[in-house]
Amino acid sequence: MADYYELLGLERNASDDDIKKAYRKMSRKYHPDIAGPEFEDKFKEVNSAYEVLSDPQKRQMYDAGVDPNSPGGGAGAQGFDMGDIFGQFFGGGFQGAAQQPIPRTQPGRDALTEVSIDLKMAVFGGTAHTQIHTFGLCQTCGGSGAEGNSQPVTCPICHGEGFTQKVVRTLLGQMMTTAACERCEGHGTIIEHPCAECQGHGRVRVRRDVGVAVPAGVADGSRLRLASQGEVGEGGGAAGDLYIDVHVKADKLYTRDGDDLHCWIGVPMTWAVLGHSVSLETFDGQQELEVPAGCQPGDVVEVKGLGVTMLGTQDRGDIVVHVLVQIPTKLNDQESQLIEQFAASHDANANEVTQSSKPFHSKKGLFGKIKDIFS
């Protein structure tokens, strides 16, 4: 029995959220459109693991030692089907079991890709573009799989039934079994003149440019869904859905925290002491920011309403500006005299440092004195 927990990289006590996150990671890693067609079997195994572990009843069965995905795996809960049991041994079922030809038109699989956007697009939304390699409708035959105006003909072996019957000897005596017709592969019809472009499949491998509508406020790691933009199925069947994993690139000016944008600015000591107006670059253009007099190193100044758009609304977070005060390292004689004058006035009685387990700020009166000296 396959170890589904190991396939998804999970512990046996994993929560539902852990299972979902692991599946998203593994499906992205092994999806044939990203990892390559050689990983198709691995991708199917990941899907099988998620199908079982995401269903509480199936997971309970699996933990009890029964694989619901294996033939007959659900027998304990659903009852035995003798036709299915003998089908495992003889490749078919009892005579008289309902059999229908396999339709040539099959629904397509979902596809997975990814797109990278900059932080500004995450703030305001927009349209991103990505290319996908997938199956598209064959334009030559329109999905029929047949050349020109030719039509599939009835299979001469199974006479359109899609299956054949034969008698086999068993321990219980002779039994009639059914199996898919080898000539028509269970379809009941044969394409005598297949389309040269798609070889009778009704679809071809294509590369498409896809425009992705990115909603304002989208977060890094989000997965978007485009209905009917995935693989076209065999015989020109309906396309599956396309899923797009969104990656938000790092920005040189801002770091995102939820709906807020954080940045750091360095200001001269005198600006922090006396206050100063600075020009701040934002995604909405240049904005005037007032650094208040007496601003301490590490203080923050907020610009309301210019952060990230809150997903699904028109509201926006804030810009949080962290102020880094730049202390001069070299002073000329005049500058040194001014600082010494301030020290003599304010720090004459200072003889020890103040220590605390938490950050603290100096009294505002300090900056009033510095302002008087520099004035």
184 is in an annotated binding site: yes
365: pLDDT strictly greater than 50: no
Task: Kindly report the pTM of this predicted structure.
Answer: 0.65
pLDDT attached to residue 302 = 96
Domain annotation for the chain: domains and CATH numbers: 1-68 (1.10.287.110), 255-374 (2.60.260.20)
198 is in an annotated binding site: yes
Q: Which residues contact 22 (CB under 8 A, 6 or more apart)?
A: 8, 9, 10, 14
263 is in an annotated binding site: no
pLDDT attached to residue 123 = 98
Average pLDDT over residues 307-315: 95
pLDDT attached to residue 360 = 64
Phi, psi angle pair for 218, to nearest 5°? -60, 140
pLDDT attached to residue 366 = 42
Cα gap 195→148, rounded to integer Å: 8
Cα-to-chain-centroid distance, residue 294: 46
Q: What's the longest Cα–Cα distance across the chain?
A: 114
Cα-to-chain-centroid distance, residue 325: 40
CA-based angle 50:54:58, to the nearest 5?
100
195 is in an annotated binding site: yes
Between the alpha carbon of residue 151 and those of residues 107, 145, 197, 226, the distances in Å are: 21, 9, 16, 33
Question: pLDDT, tens digit, for every residue of 56-100?
Answer: 888 888 887 777 776 545 444 443 444 444 444 444 444 444 578
Nearest by Cα to 267 from 286, 289, 291, 294: 291
Question: pLDDT, tens digit, for every residue of 258-281?
Answer: 999 999 999 999 999 999 999 999
